[in-house]
Chains A and B, each alone.
Chain A
Amino acid sequence: MNYHWNWSIFGELSPDGVQTYGQTLLSGLGWTLSASLLGWVMALALGMLVGVLRTVPHPWVRRLGTAYVEIFRNVPLLVQMFLWYFVMPELLPQATGDWLKTLPNAPFLTAVVCLGFFTSARVAVQVTAGIDALSGGQRLAGMALGLSRTQTYRYILLPLALRIVLPPLTSEFLNIIKNSSVALTIGLMELTASARAIQEFSFQVFEAFSAATLIYVVVNIGVTAAMHWLERRVALPGSIQAGGAR
C-alpha cells in the first residue's frame, strides 16, 4: 500500500475555515442522532398504531394495516428517500410544493419522515407478532372484566406484547441509526456524508471512514446496553422475558 497515513487530520482545519475535520465528524454525528431519534419516535408511535390495527377483529381495518406495512416495507429505503424528496413535492399543488422545497432543513425533515415511515412498518409487524403471541385468554379475560376494547389493548395486551418484542425492537433501533446514512443521498450531512466529505477534501479516506465506523459501533453498543437495561427494568416475573429459556 502506497498510502500516507495522517491521523492528525481530525485536528486540522476543514475547508469551511471554521471547523476542524474532527468537528465536521461530530456535527455529522449530531445529524445522525437527531434524524434517527426523531424517526424512531415517529416509527414507534405509528408502528404501534398500525400493529394494533392488524389485530382488531374488523377484516378491512386489518387489510388496511397490512397494506400500509407492505408498501413501506417492500420499497427500498433509498427509493423512498428519493420519492419523498424529489417526487412528492411535484405531485402537490404548485404553491405547496414550492413551500415544501424551500423549507429550511428540508433534507433533515424529509429524512425523519422517510425513516419514520419505513421503520414504522417493521415495528408494526413486530407489535402484531407480540400481540399474536399472547394467549387468546388475555383478550377474553379483559373483556370479561368489563374493559372496553381500547382499554384491553391499553392495559392488558400492549404492555405484555411490547415486553415480548423488546429484543427485536432493539434491532430496529440499531437499524434506524444505520439506515439514517441513506439520507446522505438527499443531501443530509450526517455521519457517513461527513466522512465522505473529509475524504474528498483531504483524500485521507481510511482515517475518515475508520473514525465513522468506530463512532457507529460505539453509538450502537450504547443503544444495545440501554435497551438491555430497559428490558431488565420492565421485566415481569412469571411472564415471557429475555433469557427465560436459558
Chain B
Amino acid sequence: MSLNLKLKQNLKLNRIVVVSALAAGAAVLSTAGAAPAAAQELTGTLAKIKRTGAITLGVRDGSIPFSYLDDKQQYQGYSIDLCMQIVLAVQKQLGMSGVKVAMNPVTSANRIPLMANGTIDLECGSTTNNAERQRQVAFAPTMFVIANRLLTKKSAGIRSLADMKGKTLVASAGTTTLKQMTILNNEKKLGMHIVVGKDHPESFLMLETGRAVAEANDDILLAAQVASSKSPGDYVIGTEALSVEPYGIMLRRDDPAFKQAVDGALTRFYKTPEFKQVYDKWFLRPIPPKGINLNFPMPAQLQAVIAKPTDSPDPAAYAVAPAPATAPAIAPVK
C-alpha cells in the first residue's frame, strides 16, 4: 500500500515533504478541471493551507490509542491516521503536490483558544462532540462512539451503578462523564461521593490506590488504562453502558468550504477497506509503546455510523442498542 507507506513515513518525519512552489503551480494547472473547488475563490482554512502550504494538527500526548506520543517521541494514533487521510484529500482537492504537516500538542484546556486563533486547523484527539460545544466549533463526521462505564477492582464486587450506593466514585475533571455522574447521582439518590481526578491517569491512580471504589469513564479509555496498568487482571469494566457519546475531529466553525472538504474526505475513507485496517491497527493489535493490545472490536454504534456518517452531537442518533442513551439500566453492548 503505497498510500499507507507514505503515511507512515510522514508520521515518522512528522511532516510531509514540501515540494517546490513551481511543481505545485503546475499541478494546479493540470488538475484544475478535475477539482473545481480549487478554481473558485478559496476561503477560510482552505485558503490558508493553499497560501502557506502547511496545515497544523492539534494532537494530544496521552490519548491512547487516538492521539499520543510514542516511545520514539512521535505523535501517532487512530485520530492522527484519520487526519492524515483528510490532509491527503485536501491536498488533492487544492491540487497541491505536498502539504507540510505540523503537529502541535494541545491539552483539553487550550484546544479551543488554539483552534479559534488559527494555531491549529484540525484537532486530532478524542474530543466528545456535543451540542454545547458545537456552538463554538464544528466537528467532522463521528469517528468513534464510546459508552460510559464503570471500572472497578474485581475484589469490590460492583456490578452496576446501583451497587455504588454511598460509595466513592472518581471521574476526570471537565469531562462529560463527570457531568453525567453528577446528574445520575442526584436523580437516583445514590448518595455517591464523587471525587474528581485532574486527568484520566490521575483518576485511575485514585482507583488504584483505593481513594475511589469505581472510576467512571469512556469504555475505550478504561480499556487502555487497564491494559497498561500494573496488574490488568485485577480490574473489570462494567457491562452497564451509562451513556453513549460520539468522538469527532474538531475544526473551526463557520468555515463551510473546509468542513465540506473534511466531511467528504472522511466519508469517502470510511467506505474503503483501508479504514478497517486503520481501525484494526489501533484497536485489535498490539500498539506502541508497550505493545499492549486493547482488544476492542468495533462497537455496533460505530459500525452504524461508519455505514451512515453523521456529525450529529445528539447521543440518541447513535443508539442502536434497544435502549435510550440516558437511562442507566442499559443492555450490555458487547
Contacts and interface: CB of A to CB of B under 8 A. Distances in A.
Given A199-B109, A203-B137, A204-B136, A17 B196 contact: no
Contacts of A132: none
A189 interface: yes
Interface string A100-119: 01101011000000000000
Contacts of B210: 98, 101
Given A90-B209, A203-B137, A196 B132 contact: no
A201 interface: yes
Interface string B178-211: 1110110010000001011110001001100111
> Which bucket holds chain B's interface residue count?
35 or more
Nearest to A206: B113
Contact of B173 (A1, A101, A196): A196
B173 A16 contact: no
A185 B201 CA distance: 12
A18 interface: yes
Contacts, number: 97
A101 B198 contact: no
A202 interface: yes
B182 A2 contact: no
B132 A203 contact: yes
A200 interface: yes
Contacts of B115: 2
Interface string A198-227: 011111111000000000000000000000
A208 to B, nearest CB: 10
A187 B186 contact: no
Contacts of B132: 201-203
B140 to A, nearest CB: 16
Contact of B118 (A2, A6, A18, A196): A2
> Which interface class (under 10, 10 to 19, 20 to 34, 35 or more) fits A?
20 to 34
Contacts of A184: 173, 198
A15 B132 CA distance: 10
B175 interface: yes
Given A2-B252, A203-B136, A205-B109, A187 B195 contact: yes
Contacts of A106: 195, 211
Nearest to B197: A187
B253 A2 contact: yes
A101 B253 contact: no
Tell me if A's interface is mostly helix, strand, loop or mixed: helix
Nearest to A185: B198
A135 B210 CA distance: 55
Give the interface centre of B113, B175, B253 by most chain A CB atoms within 10 Å.
B113
A202 B112 CA distance: 11
A196 B174 contact: yes
B108 interface: yes
Given A16-B183, A199-B112, 18 more contacts: A2-B115, A3-B136, A15-B183, A17-B182, A18-B186, A86-B205, A104-B193, A197-B173, A197-B174, A197-B178, A201-B179, A202-B132, A203-B132, A203-B135, A204-B136, A205-B109, A205-B110, A205-B112
Interface of B: 108-110, 112-113, 115-118, 132-133, 135-137, 168, 170, 173-176, 178-180, 182-183, 186, 193, 195-198, 202, 205-206, 209-211, 252-255
18 contacts: A1-B118, A2-B118, A3-B117, A15-B182, A102-B168, A106-B211, A187-B202, A196-B174, A197-B178, A199-B112, A200-B108, A200-B109, A200-B173, A200-B174, A200-B175, A202-B132, A203-B136, A205-B109
